[in-house]
Structure 1
Amino acid sequence: MSTAYAVRDSATMLRRNLLHIRRYPSLSIMLVAQPIVFLLMFVYVFGGTLGAGLPGQEGVTGAVGRAGTGDRGDYLEFITPGILFMTVTSIALGTAISTATDMTTGIIARFRTMNIARVSVLTGHVLGAVIRTGFAVVIVAAVAFGLGFRSDAGPLDWLGAIGLLVGVSFALTWLTVGMGLAADSVETASNTPLFLVILPFISSGFVPTDAMPTGLRQFAEHQPFTPMIDTLRALVTGASAGTDLWLAIGWCALIALLGFLWSRRLFLRVPTK
């Protein structure tokens, strides 16, 4: 089948997924509300204490000073990138659920009997999730700015931050599409990707990794989300991302490739009857 047909069929499947979002908005609302609740809770409940413990070095709080001189505003600046990543992972979790729903209702098996590009069924889910992630990130970022988040980043920094979030969303969505295809029920699909929601907590998203015990710090420093969050934090504060940028790009490429190959393999094994 030609590339033109694959693009056309992918656009059709994308439209199908966007229509589902419009007709059943409750899941999207819940997934967007979760990071907003975490943002409010961490800033207003824990922000004063955690902000006072932040190191005052440039690139972490955006100012130079001594440890223990931060406040709730500093913590808002520190935590916002982690919350934006939680938004991406929440939408990815919803993609696993929607994919599993298609599997359990038999619609994917039906699609496989039709004269359409097979890849379009999966790309429809992925592209729909990336678009939904974009809207969710805008909403959460608007809440953060409303709470007082400010940035010294320039246009190129913001363009890089958007590109990073799109790349992470693309990679994690392919991974969760595979989880949805592999799940034997919607309930299983809703639980399997939960580690993606937990990983930001065991990273530099909420506290500096230097404040963690040795074993936990080593795990946090070498798991994928830490260089991604550190890169986003540097971009939105106008600091230099350094080697974290290349680590983030590498992790995104690896996760996207493995997720795509896994999803494709599972999809081709779906019985047609």
Structure 2
Amino acid sequence: MKRPIALTTALGAALCLTLAACGRGDAEADAKGVEPDAWPSPPAVRAVLLDGRTLVIRGVSSPGGRVVLRQAAGEGFAVTADDQGRFEIRLPRPAGDLILAPELQIGQDAAEAPQTLVVLGQGAGPVALLRPGQAAQRLNGGGALGAVDSDGAVLVAGGRAPAGSTVQIEAGGRSLQVVADAAGQWTGMLGTATGPQRIVIDGRGYDYPGAVSTSGGAPVSMRAGQGWRIVWSLPGGAGQSTWLPDLDD
């Protein structure tokens, strides 16, 4: 069984027992020659697209690293990143929803990515990265609203807009404004009302079906209103539910 890799580096120190055997200059030269180990970079999925009946997943990781996208049942899809760290995995279009955990294999160790990739509707529906404690990051469509996440206590929404633009949000009887970052991503805290409600983003309305309680176990996806719900577990046993609106026409 593979174990999570511990990303650590150590610097050794030379001990000179006699001045004749080891001078200060030699020790300094040796120290300058020590290079810290490169930090492995877990896979980061950047794009998912359909090419006919083939699903193409692209991203970046450590150059030359073995990238694995693993399903909950253990089956995985693997490829080696090129010398620039880029990878592309091509697999048959899924017959249903696909939920994959990216990891980087190094010998018998594995560096797991913090996000989980979900591909819904046989590859024709929402594609997103589930992020613990944050709104999911949509990789396709979604319009003004990309995702709504909840741990059962608060709601967090996220989406895309022109970089630096102000996004107007109305939800649960309150309104707020957020600013999209340099990558065009925005996130807003919607408050503690986690039941069904109307969420309006820059004048575009969405009927959020409400959060659900989570009971641990592997991620589960299902239709919910005009979108998809994924119920999943966080490290330590806490739960999170994610709602992804349908793709805009």
TM-score, L = length of structure 1: 0.23
TM-score, L = length of structure 2: 0.24
Greater length-normalized contact order (CA 8 Å, ≥ 6 residues apart): 1
Which structure has the greater CA radius of gyration? 2
